[in-house]
A and B are shown apart, each in its own frame.
Chain A
Amino acid sequence: MPLTGLQIFKLLPNTNCKKCGYPTCLTFAMKLAAGKEALEKCPDASPEAKAALGAASAPPIRGVTVGRGDRAITVGEETVFFRHEKTFVRHPGLFQIFDPAGLTAAERDAKLDHWRAIRIERAGETFQVDGIAVVETAESVAAAVAASDRGFPVAILAATLPGATAIAERIKEHRPLLVPPAGANLEGYAALAARLGIPLVVGAPDLASLADAARDAARAGVTDILLEPPGADPRLLHHSLSAIRRGALDRIHPGLGHPVFLCVGAGEIEKAVLGITKFASLVALADCGGETWLPLWTLRQNIYTDPQKPLQMDPGLYAIGEPNDRSPLLVTSNFSLTYFIVSTEAEASGVACHLAVVDAEGLSVLTAWSAGKFSGDRVAKALREMKAAERVSHHTVIIPGYVPVISGELEDALGDGWHVLVGPQEASDIAPFFRDVWGPLARDLGTHP
């Protein structure tokens, strides 16, 4: 049973000294209880507090950072088995497997530059290649350096201990992840990782030996460890992943309290799906096409959304199709699910339109309205900020059918010349609404193309 914030608070000095970075001891205690802070940040914690909190406050799964600088990625620190219990905290890093064999320096750099340039915006998140997993070959030292120079966290997919050592030595400042080859004797790799202070992946043919191997690596001085689960087939992989997470949370073996590393070969998207949903923390992908990466990024975004805090869209005026000043103007909340449903249906209607997404703190329309986040005044203010009046000549705004109650207030707040039209309740009725209500109205107004 973890300690509550209040129980932890009682163990703290209650001086509100702010040395931990928080304004009060209570706030710090709450962060500790949530597993988001470590007791070390309190310089005045008594030995009793440390003893009491030590075991309880250590996260069941350690955090591991790979890389340095802006693109460094920290994984682990998970506290639950089911995402609805709290949330999955650190989304898994997706690394591009890169075999530089046979490439000229220019070809290699072109590839790395291309990967570095990839940025895809989706629902408030920027998707990018999180790191490069360099396959050890003759050209790998240069490739690893090139990747590190570009800011990428690097995983070294080692083939030989000397080869890996050569790469690791060169980029040790960049905190690379050392991945020994399958079945290798881990001792040498553990010694290397311990000496350089870099994270290490340990693997084993079964869970018991995996846990032991991780414990041994820790004893050998490796502080940051990732586990590569046994996973010859989907069933075994799923079993291993589930057992590691459960074993870590139940603290049945210190060797299980580490994040998980997974390598996914070409054409194995199913394996990556399994990894992302079931607790893998670093996934190295052989495929490099968007058709593989986009679904996986999106899946990660979905699974790692805080289930108690809805995914939000950036407020603003979104174009559906290629709208002009005579196209309909719809307004909705910035709850991502609402936005997605509305935009999908609006797009399917074939009618280009403007979609004004109003900051409703990520609540659905009706909830937002009840909470006062989708009032006529707020919507009007948002429309003014988006300069909606300059975008549509008809000055008519279509509001969701669930909140007709704001129509009067909104019309008042928008002022002269604006009309409020109550749209359908369900997004699926947008197409018929455009056809049956907006169409004739637009023709009457003489605004229809």
Chain B
Amino acid sequence: MSRIIASAAIRGGHACVRRAETMLAEALGRHNRNTAIGFPSTAYALPIILALTGKRVEKLGDLEEAVGAARSWLPAEPTEKLWLPYLGGALDAGAATLVAQEAIEALKPLHGIPLEFDYWLGPTTDGILREQGIKLVDGRMPGFAACVGALPDDETAEQLARDLQERNLLVFMGANCAGETMAAQLNRRGVQMNWETFLVPYGPDTSSIVHALGFACRAAFTFGGLKPGGLEETREILLYNQRRVFAFVLALGEVDDEKYATAAGAINFGFPVIADTDIPEILPSGICTYEHVVSNVAHRDMPARAVEVRGVKIHTVEIPIPVRHGPAFEGERVRREEVAIEFGGKYTRCFEYLASRPMDQVQDGLIRVVGPEIGDVPEGARLPLAIFVEVAGRKMQPEFESILERHIHSFLSEPMGVMHLGQRDTVWLRISKKARDAGFRIEHLGTVLLHKLRNDFPAIVDKVQVTLFTESAGVEELYPTAAAAYQSRDERMGALTDERVEIFYSCALCQSYAPNHVCIITPERLGLCGAYNWLDGKAAYEINPHGGNLPVRKGDSVDPVLGQWKGINDFIRNASNGAFERFSAYSMITDPMTSCGCFECIACILPGTGGIMIVDREYAGETPVGMTFSSLAEMTGGGQQTPGFIGIGTIYALSRKFISADGGLARLVWTTTRIKQKLGDRLRQRCEELGKPGFYEKIADETVCTELEPLIEYLATVEHPALEMGEMV
């Protein structure tokens, strides 16, 4: 922690505690120790003191112990020469400050100082807490901003308040800056301040900020079921706030020692500080989720920056576009005669490209159309289009780019009157006349992407900006970059090997009907449904850590040929409810993977040929093994280990790890024409890699035969390599 901040906070803490001690001594001189003390209509006494010390302060005399505790937490007051243990001391000073400030606030009435006057609302009652606090906990309200100080002018104050309101954030105000307060500024602008408008002014002194933090503590007590008590309980309360109450402090104007001290107190709760002045920053995360203190932020940027730093996720309920939208319009067609404007298809270049960027290089919400808009061109015009999406997120990884990019299709299919087909550079997009007449413009494609990406992927996407190029120059300029990215992603995926990663992903989405089945997804073996590869598993886990995809550490290798690892076997044993002990990633004979029932294809051995066959779900005819797909499925499915039979995703056949322990792709003697078509050149290429000339042509299919004897004859005729490899069992 910055030495300057730490010193200031500790100085501020000492000052605050001294002030509390003085006020308490004065009060005790004039009032009985048993004089009732506390805030109106609350069951939580003085909530911060309750949370931090575990003690209920109900009488004047009780304050002695609390203030005494604050005193004891204070580190020595810093001098020029004293070297400081930064973070710990400052945080302790912060906690002491909050206790002292709460004592001061509680003592005010005894000194004849009102807590509630003019537009200042003073402490919040439990009634309001119950009504409003729950919104913080259940997510209806994304968080609160504690605004400390004042803005340079009334207009900026109002603008900041409106910006925060727009994000649905609860706004607490307190403290002053040379006598000026944000609440006074809003009051002069005629802004309504109360619990209905979510603009809540607590008091003009810095100490009044404790009511905001007290509000957070009481929410934890009430809705988190947390109990005050000892150190462990205090830790729980602070952690609860850090994890669930998305609050932050906006330091507006000059930051004095007491404000530094208060800020240090807030940091204990995981609430970061965003300042408009040039104070020292504290960036590395420790207590707060991300940065602790961020400074020199322009007022206009403050809400966005604060939301980002605190990790507040703002969910857009209603996407602001002029047409209806939703999954219900996903499959709709826009016919030629209905087209207002059209991109791609076979007419123009049209592509979409999503790239991740560092946090500071994306301006969240920025949508630009570079080139003509819908109204600038005649009806039915065909334009080129580049949909360029740049995202940033704390947990965003370049690997997730392709996953997010794949979603562009469903997102852009949702507005009524927009037709989107294809992906990457094969996109075909139409906007209907009806949509245009309703006010839909090209720009709104960006609006949809912005909100959908933020809403659907809050765990990995924090910021989105979209650029829509609608003129050749821009489109052509960006295209090489996009094309290179497509290629490098494919190559990266291709280069991603099982050896290079330490973690595989499980998929238990099918356990509902195959109770003991678990898919293990490796970079070189995708899920048997064909829908989930390793990256999908990884992203799914980031997005929902309690979902069906969990990371599984490989652990020590048990058998590198079969593809067995200790960590995987342990996981399988547990996840299969004890039904299976071992799992081989690369064998269909020894401890093969179980199959649920959603497999795209079944691979099964063909005794007598030394090989295997692969049959797809769509193929209804007979196969050389003597079973149709559906009888094979009956044998293979249901979450059993069935040596000799595995369910696979079609493209697993292309993997270097395809039954590599059993001889690999060279074992393939029969498959369906549909699979040959689907894998096409990639299969041909993979066959060539095996170094067995003419191998691809030697693989039989249903046009050659559907029975075993003729297959064996055929294989002998073509000299299929499997014949030489010996029987598999």
Contact = CB atoms under 8 A, between A and B. Distances in A.
Contacts, number: 89
Contacts of A4: 641-644
A84 interface: yes
A287 interface: no
B707 A408 contact: no
A372 interface: yes
B328 A404 contact: yes
Contact of A34 (B531, B597, B635): B635
Contacts of B332: 404, 407-408
A409 interface: yes
A219 interface: no
A371 B515 CA distance: 21
Contacts of B652: none
B330 A24 contact: no
A26 B331 CA distance: 45
Interface string A84-122: 111000000000000000000000000000000000000
B617 interface: yes
Given A5-B644, A86-B638, A24 B708 contact: yes
A372 to B, nearest CB: 7
Nearest to A308: B638
Interface in B260-274: none
A307 interface: yes
A6 B331 contact: no
Interface string B143-163: 000000000000000000000
Contact of B328 (A7, A9, A422): A422
Interface in A390-413: 401, 403-412
B597 A308 contact: yes
Contact of B626 (A7, A23, A406): A23
Nearest to A18: B626
B68 interface: no
B709 interface: yes
A126 interface: no
A185 interface: no
Given A6-B643, A6-B644, A34-B635, A308 B514 contact: yes
Contacts of B315: none
Contacts of B513: 307-308
B322 interface: no
A404 B327 contact: yes
Interface string A278-310: 000000000000000000000000000001110
B642 A401 contact: no
Interface in B651-694: none
Interface in A1-42: 4-7, 9-10, 14, 16, 22-27, 30, 34
Contacts of B641: 4
A371 B635 contact: no
Contacts of B617: 371
Contact of B605 (A23, A26, A307): A26
A370 interface: yes
16 contacts: A4-B641, A4-B642, A6-B605, A6-B644, A6-B729, A7-B643, A9-B729, A26-B607, A27-B625, A34-B635, A307-B513, A308-B637, A309-B634, A376-B331, A404-B328, A412-B333
Given A308-B514, A422-B329, 9 more contacts: A16-B709, A26-B606, A26-B625, A308-B638, A309-B634, A376-B331, A404-B332, A408-B331, A412-B333
Interface of B: 327-333, 413, 419, 513-515, 531, 589, 597-598, 605-608, 617-618, 625-627, 634-635, 637-638, 641-645, 707-709, 729
Which 10 interchain pairs have the tightest Cβ spacing?
Answer: A23-B626, A408-B333, A405-B331, A24-B626, A407-B331, A27-B626, A6-B643, A422-B328, A405-B330, A6-B644
Interface of A: 4-7, 9-10, 14, 16, 22-27, 30, 34, 84-86, 307-309, 370-372, 376, 401, 403-412, 422
